[in-house]
Structure 1
Amino acid sequence: MAITSANQLELLQTAEAVAREKMIDPALVIEAMEESLARAAKSRYGSEMDIRVKIDRKTGRATFTRVRTVVEDEELENYQAEMTVEQAKQYMADPNVGDQFIEEVPPVEMGRIAAQSAKQVILQKVREAERDRQYEEFKDRAGTIINGLVKREEYGNVIVDVGAGEAILRRNEKIGRESYRPNDRIRCYIKDVRREPRGPQIFLSRTAPEFMAELFKMEVPEIYDGIIEIKAVARDPGSRAKIAVVSYDNSIDPVGACVGMRGSRVQAVVNELQGEKIDIIPWNEDVPTFLVNALQPAEVSKVVLDEDAERIEVVVPEEQLSLAIGRRGQNVRLASQLTGLDIDIMTEEEESQRRQAEFEQRTKLFMDTLDLDEFFAQLLVSEGFTNLEEVAYVDRDELLVIDGVDEDTAEELQARARDYLDEQNRLALENARALGAEDSLVDFEGLTPQMIEALAKDGVKTLEDFATCADWELAGGWTTVDGERVKDDGLLEPYDVSLEEAQNLVMTARIMLGWVDPAELEQDEPEDDAEAETEEAGA
């Protein structure tokens, strides 16, 4: 094939035909043709030459040029594509490093092999352009619902025709045991769009909680308009789901709006989800109230929230226990996903037994340590005293309100408590020093003798050792492993040291050791405050 006037226009016609068929820019096809022609020319003139081809967008004429770049003498490596300043003076008036000398060369005669190579280059470029177009079209559609036609099923995965490409609905993203035949219409949620070497990969889902949220947005105009907001969704795909909604218009009931007239709106979503039962729950800023709603239809007697551990205890009547837990724990599991809290459910009887056990444990503590009879110890527990520190250091007036406690009795109680605590502190310090605790740690303000003993048992014996500890190692915390929250015990957690207190203690130790400059911390704080003020102003 020769690039002559007879087939110049054919280049443009071919480019337009390919671009129209693949729905890509004709300029990309022409650029691919230019590259393929340049590659064929290099095989004719020499691979080291810098041969470039330019196709006129109007006439189709292909111009072949050879480019040589002016470089420093010591940088000259490719004599076919580069030349020195002295060499360039033969072709240019005043050459400088970086200048290019361009001369036109005769068009090439393309043999069968060169023509086949050019064809492969064009096809490759067209495929890349087509993949880029597909990726650009779908990357911004992630997080939306798409309708498609089932093309085939491979090993449980469904290949879906979505118009401008193919998408995949994996086996674990299908609801229950649903199956599809070719040409079935399917509605899915675009979970992810990735650019990969083999082309853009579009991953679909019918089990994602966001799929249900998007379906409600389509069925409930108030959600689409932003009057009602979906705050959380929890699903057991194909079986049951809970969705929390809130209304920003007091005149609109969010639950009623989502249910619709005679359940028409929610029923449309249920039908799409293969009969999945849906509990629509009013969202509430108050976490215990929200949890009570989330555990519907079970009735809750009492809720105890532990914000630090992100756990919550729920007390229900005996007859409501099975309903609150649900079949195979489904109800409480969905409520936990909805609220983001770990939920412990117990009956009223179990809660009463636990409170009784705590009462007896504290009573025994006061009897053994303060040498009190059972009745008097029970009086202290009934008044809310839980440990010796409270008795020893509480304002004496709080002891005097207890029946039978006068000034002398209160003074004696506090003296006994302090003597006992002092003795425990002395023994703890002795044990800590025996374990190797050094004065730098013992004298560090903020640590009690019991804390020092606990640290020494774990190998933390100097202030340097303490300064290398992480705050969570001291205060404890929670981590998520395989989707479940796992407790990390802290060295000082038994002594009620919070994460913030642990941070302050460790930072103080680092400052004392000279590892951290307090002036730098003071400089950082105003910047943080300024950022916070900026964010508040923007909000």
Structure 2
Amino acid sequence: MAITSANQLELLQTAEAVAREKMIDPGLVVEAMEESLARAAKSRYGSEMDIRVKIDRRTGKATFTRVRTVVADDELENYQAEMTVETAKQYLSDPQIGDTFVEEVPPVELGRIAAQSAKQVILQKVREAERDRQYEEFKDRVGTIINGVVKREEFGNVVVDVGGGEATLRRNEKIGRESYRPNDRIRCYIKDVRREVRGPQIFLSRTAPEFMAELFKMEVPEIYDGIIEIKAVARDPGSRAKIAVISYDGSIDPVGACVGMRGSRVQAVVNELQGEKIDIIPWSEDLPTFLVNALQPAEVSKVVLDEDAERIEVVVPDEQLSLAIGRRGQNVRLASQLTGLDIDIMTEEEESKRRQAEFEERTKLFMETLDVDEFFAQLLVSEGFTNLEEVAYVELDELLVIDGVDEGTAEELQTRAREFLEEQARKALENARELGAQDSLIDFEGLSPQMVEALAKDGVLTLEDFATCADWELAGGWTSVNGERVKDDGLLEPFEVSLEEAQHMVMTARVLLGWVDPTELDAEEDEDETEAQAE
């Protein structure tokens, strides 16, 4: 088939038809045609030639040209696509390196093989353009809800037609034992869109917490308008969920707005989520208050928050324990996800026993170290003293408030406490030296003799050893293993060294050793402060 004999407008008509069908720019189809014709021409004239084809966007006429570039004499490699300055003078008046000489060549005859090759090039380019269009269309829709039609189910994964392409709802992203048949309508959350070799992959979800949040946004106008904000969502898909909301308008009750008249709004979400029970609770900046709300319907007697460990202890009446924990731990698990804290639940009886055990332990400590009777030791514990350091270094006035303690008695108590602590420090230092602790570590500011002893027992003997430690190795921390938080014990954790203090000591050691430039450290601290202020 010769291009010259074909209906030239047919090229443009074909391009427009393909573009409409694939929903892509007609110009991309025309470019694909130009490339395919150029490739066919190269097979006719020679692959080393630089043959280019231009299709007129109005008439459809295809123009074939040969392009040769002017290069330096020593750079001439391809005689078919390049020429020297001297040779170019035959065609150009004042040739310069980099100039091009373009001449028109006769159109080629498209044989069967060339036509098939051209067709493959066009199809490939159209396919790539279609993939790019799909990716660009859906990448900005991540985090939104989309309606689709089920096409088929493969190995438990549902393939959904979402209009501009196909998306996948994986087996683990379905609620419970949901099953779908072809042509069923489905509503999903676009969780991720990835550009892959086989085309853009669109991944859907019906179990994501964000899916529930988006559903509420569709059902509750106040959320869409920003008057009410969803602060946190925790789900056990298909069974139960908790959602925390806050209102920025004092006249609007966030819980009531989400529930709706006779529960109409929340019921619409429940129906979409296959009957998933939803607890709507008010959000609070005060974590203990928020947790009390999150554990509803259970009643909470007391909350003890440990912000450093991101743990919280909740005390409930004995008869409320099972309700607070929930079936298979569901209630406390969802409350933990909602607050981002590990929650320990105990009954009032268990807490009372623990407090009694702590009281007896501290009483025994004071009796043995201060050489006082049980009654006097109990007085100290009752006044809030928990360790010897507090007795030894507290202001004298705080001891004088204890019944029966005069100034002489208070001074004697402090003397005994300090002598005991000094003896402990001396023994700890001796043990550390016997274990091999060096003066560089012993003299490091911030480490007590007991800390040095604990480090030496673990093989940290020099300042260099200490400087190689990670902050969490010293202060301890929490890591996630198989979705559960696991405690990492720190070498200095018994001495209540925080993560920030551990980090500061390690960096100070590295500066002393010359491993870190203190000016760079100051610059990093300034940047951190600036970022914190900006937040």
Same-fold call, TM cutoff 0.5: yes
> Which whole-Å CA distance do the structure 2 matches of 1:184 and 1:520 have between them?
61
Specify the alignment match of 1:293 in structure 2.
293
The residue type equivalent to 1:59 in the other structure is T
Specify the alignment match of 2:500 in structure 1.
500
> Which whole-Å CA distance do the structure 2 matches of 1:275 and 1:27 have between them?
50
| Farther off after superposition, 8-17 or 512-521 | 512-521
The residue type equivalent to 2:314 in the other structure is V
The residue type equivalent to 2:462 in the other structure is T
Specify the alignment match of 1:206 in structure 2.
206
Deviation (angstroms), 1:472: 1.8
> Which whole-Å CA distance do the structure 2 matches of 1:531 and 1:211 have between them?
32
CA displacement 1:489-535 (0-9 Å, x = unmatched): 211111011112112212222222222333343445555555556x3
> Which whole-Å CA distance do the structure 2 matches of 1:523 and 1:188 have between them?
47
> Which whole-Å CA distance do the structure 2 matches of 1:74 and 1:438 have between them?
69
Deviation (angstroms), 1:58: 0.9
> Which whole-Å CA distance do the structure 1 matches of 2:270 and 2:56 have between them?
59
Alignment CA distance shift 1:72-1:460 (3 Å): farther
Deviation (angstroms), 1:88: 2.2
Alignment CA distance shift 1:149-1:527 (3 Å): closer
> Which whole-Å CA distance do the structure 2 matches of 1:341 and 1:283 have between them?
15
> Which whole-Å CA distance do the structure 2 matches of 1:227 and 1:179 have between them?
37
| Farther off after superposition, 506-515 or 288-297 | 506-515
> Which whole-Å CA distance do the structure 2 matches of 1:247 and 1:202 have between them?
34
Alignment CA distance shift 1:526-1:348 (3 Å): closer
Specify the alignment match of 2:254 in structure 1.
254
Specify the alignment match of 1:230 in structure 2.
230
Specify the alignment match of 2:58 in structure 1.
58
> Which whole-Å CA distance do the structure 2 matches of 1:520 and 1:135 have between them?
43
CA displacement 1:364-395 (0-9 Å, x = unmatched): 11112222221111111111111111111111
Specify the alignment match of 2:68 in structure 1.
68
Specify the alignment match of 2:220 in structure 1.
220
Preserved contact between residue 435 and residue 456 of structure 1 (Cα < 8 Å): yes
CA displacement 1:48-98 (0-9 Å, x = unmatched): 111111111111111111111222233222222122223322322222222
The residue type equivalent to 1:219 in the other structure is E
Specify the alignment match of 1:318 in structure 2.
318
Deviation (angstroms), 1:6: 3.5
Specify the alignment match of 1:449 in structure 2.
449
| TM-score, scaled to structure 2 | 0.97
> Which whole-Å CA distance do the structure 2 matches of 1:527 and 1:175 have between them?
45
Specify the alignment match of 1:123 in structure 2.
123
Preserved contact between residue 306 and residue 312 of structure 1 (Cα < 8 Å): yes
Specify the alignment match of 1:21 in structure 2.
21
Deviation (angstroms), 1:252: 0.3
Specify the alignment match of 2:415 in structure 1.
415
The residue type equivalent to 1:370 in the other structure is L
The residue type equivalent to 1:276 in the other structure is E
> Which whole-Å CA distance do the structure 1 matches of 2:413 and 2:171 have between them?
69
> Which whole-Å CA distance do the structure 2 matches of 1:141 and 1:508 have between them?
48
Specify the alignment match of 1:168 in structure 2.
168
Specify the alignment match of 1:368 in structure 2.
368
> Which whole-Å CA distance do the structure 2 matches of 1:31 and 1:530 have between them?
51
Specify the alignment match of 1:266 in structure 2.
266
> Which whole-Å CA distance do the structure 1 matches of 2:520 and 2:203 have between them?
48
> Which whole-Å CA distance do the structure 2 matches of 1:174 and 1:331 have between them?
22
> Which whole-Å CA distance do the structure 2 matches of 1:526 and 1:233 have between them?
35
Q: Is 2:521 aligned against 1:521?
A: yes
Alignment CA distance shift 1:210-1:527 (3 Å): closer
What is the RMSD of the two structures over their aligned residues, measured on CA atoms? Answer: 1.4
CA displacement 1:254-295 (0-9 Å, x = unmatched): 000111111111111111111111000000010000000000
Alignment CA distance shift 1:5-1:60 (3 Å): farther
Deviation (angstroms), 1:349: 0.3
CA displacement 1:290-319 (0-9 Å, x = unmatched): 000000000000000000111000000000
The residue type equivalent to 1:228 in the other structure is I
> Which whole-Å CA distance do the structure 2 matches of 1:414 and 1:492 have between them?
26
SS at match of 1:479: strand
Deviation (angstroms), 1:150: 1.2
SS at match of 1:4: helix
> Which whole-Å CA distance do the structure 2 matches of 1:116 and 1:517 have between them?
67
| Farther off after superposition, 282-291 or 371-380 | 371-380
Deviation (angstroms), 1:330: 0.3
Preserved contact between residue 332 and residue 343 of structure 1 (Cα < 8 Å): yes
> Which whole-Å CA distance do the structure 2 matches of 1:482 and 1:268 have between them?
34
Specify the alignment match of 1:133 in structure 2.
133
Q: Percent same amino acid among aligned pairs?
A: 88
The residue type equivalent to 2:460 in the other structure is V
Preserved contact between residue 70 and residue 95 of structure 1 (Cα < 8 Å): yes
> Which whole-Å CA distance do the structure 2 matches of 1:171 and 1:18 have between them?
35
The residue type equivalent to 2:243 in the other structure is I
> Which whole-Å CA distance do the structure 2 matches of 1:172 and 1:519 have between them?
51
Deviation (angstroms), 1:415: 1.3
The residue type equivalent to 2:298 in the other structure is A
Specify the alignment match of 2:279 in structure 1.
279
> Which whole-Å CA distance do the structure 2 matches of 1:453 and 1:66 have between them?
83
SS at match of 1:229: strand
> Which whole-Å CA distance do the structure 2 matches of 1:527 and 1:505 have between them?
20
The residue type equivalent to 1:461 in the other structure is L
Specify the alignment match of 1:358 in structure 2.
358
The residue type equivalent to 1:455 in the other structure is L
> Which whole-Å CA distance do the structure 2 matches of 1:144 and 1:91 have between them?
60
SS at match of 1:32: helix
Preserved contact between residue 5 and residue 61 of structure 1 (Cα < 8 Å): no
Deviation (angstroms), 1:152: 1.3
> Which whole-Å CA distance do the structure 1 matches of 2:311 and 2:414 have between them?
35
> Which whole-Å CA distance do the structure 2 matches of 1:532 and 1:381 have between them?
40
The residue type equivalent to 1:90 in the other structure is Q
> Which whole-Å CA distance do the structure 2 matches of 1:241 and 1:126 have between them?
45
| TM-score, scaled to structure 1 | 0.97
Specify the alignment match of 2:405 in structure 1.
405
- Structure 1 gap ranges (5+): none
SS at match of 1:129: helix
> Which whole-Å CA distance do the structure 2 matches of 1:278 and 1:403 have between them?
55
Specify the alignment match of 2:329 in structure 1.
329
Preserved contact between residue 189 and residue 204 of structure 1 (Cα < 8 Å): yes
> Which whole-Å CA distance do the structure 1 matches of 2:421 and 2:526 have between them?
42
Alignment CA distance shift 1:215-1:387 (3 Å): same
Q: Is 2:36 aligned against 1:36?
A: yes
Moved over 4 A (4+): 523-533
Counterparts of 1:237-248 in structure 2 under 5 Å? 237-248=237-248
> Which whole-Å CA distance do the structure 1 matches of 2:153 and 2:293 have between them?
41
Deviation (angstroms), 1:479: 2.2
> Which whole-Å CA distance do the structure 2 matches of 1:389 and 1:532 have between them?
34
Specify the alignment match of 1:468 in structure 2.
468
| Farther off after superposition, 339-348 or 522-531 | 522-531
> Which whole-Å CA distance do the structure 2 matches of 1:532 and 1:340 have between them?
21
> Which whole-Å CA distance do the structure 2 matches of 1:531 and 1:213 have between them?
29
